[in-house]
Amino acid sequence: MATIIRKEERDFQPHPGDMLFFEAGETGAHQLYNHTDEPCTYLDLRSYIGHDVCEYPDSGKLILMPTAETFRKDEQHAYFEGEEGVDTIWNKLNRQ
């Protein structure tokens, strides 16, 4: 088995039957990678209730769970961007 876990700046190889825990937040960031053509079977249990935000530092992405919507961190926008002219929209609604 050549499945490797990367956590922070170190790698380690889990063994059959190992149980691994990763805390929430930046210090719990980890990556599992199978370096072989052999299948790797694992059980992933999560403990978040409601919503969670996962950061992928290598690719600069964020994923919102449980919907799995994925965004790029470098595409941040001002809160009111695209909300210009709200008074016009409200005026149209009030005329109907």
Question: Do 63 and 32 sit in the same domain of this protein?
Answer: no
Does residue 14 sit within a domain?
Answer: yes
C-alpha to C-alpha distance for 14 and 20, rounded to whole angstroms: 8
Q: What is the mean pLDDT of residues 6-16?
A: 85
Q: What is the mean pLDDT of residues 10-16?
A: 87
Question: Do 36 and 60 sit in the same domain of this protein?
Answer: no
C-alpha to C-alpha distance for 33 and 5, rounded to whole angstroms: 7
pLDDT higher than 90, residue 72: yes
What are the two backbone dihedrals, phi and then psi, of residue 94, each rounded to the nearest 5 degrees? -70, -20
Question: Do 10 and 32 sit in the same domain of this protein?
Answer: yes
Predicted confidence (pLDDT) per residue in 21-63, tens digit: 888 777 788 888 888 888 888 888 877 678 888 888 889 999 9
- Beta strand 61-65 with 52-56 is antiparallel
What mean pLDDT is reported for the chain? 85
70: confidence class by pLDDT, cuts 50, 70, 90: very high
Does residue 91 sit within a domain?
Answer: no
Question: Do 7 and 32 sit in the same domain of this protein?
Answer: yes
Highest mean pLDDT: which range of 47-61, 62-76, 81-95: 62-76
C-alpha to C-alpha distance for 55 and 24, rounded to whole angstroms: 11
Does residue 27 sit within a domain?
Answer: yes
Does residue 92 sit within a domain?
Answer: no
Q: For the chain, how many structural domains are there in total?
A: 2
Range of the domain at 40: 1-45
Question: Do 31 and 5 sit in the same domain of this protein?
Answer: yes
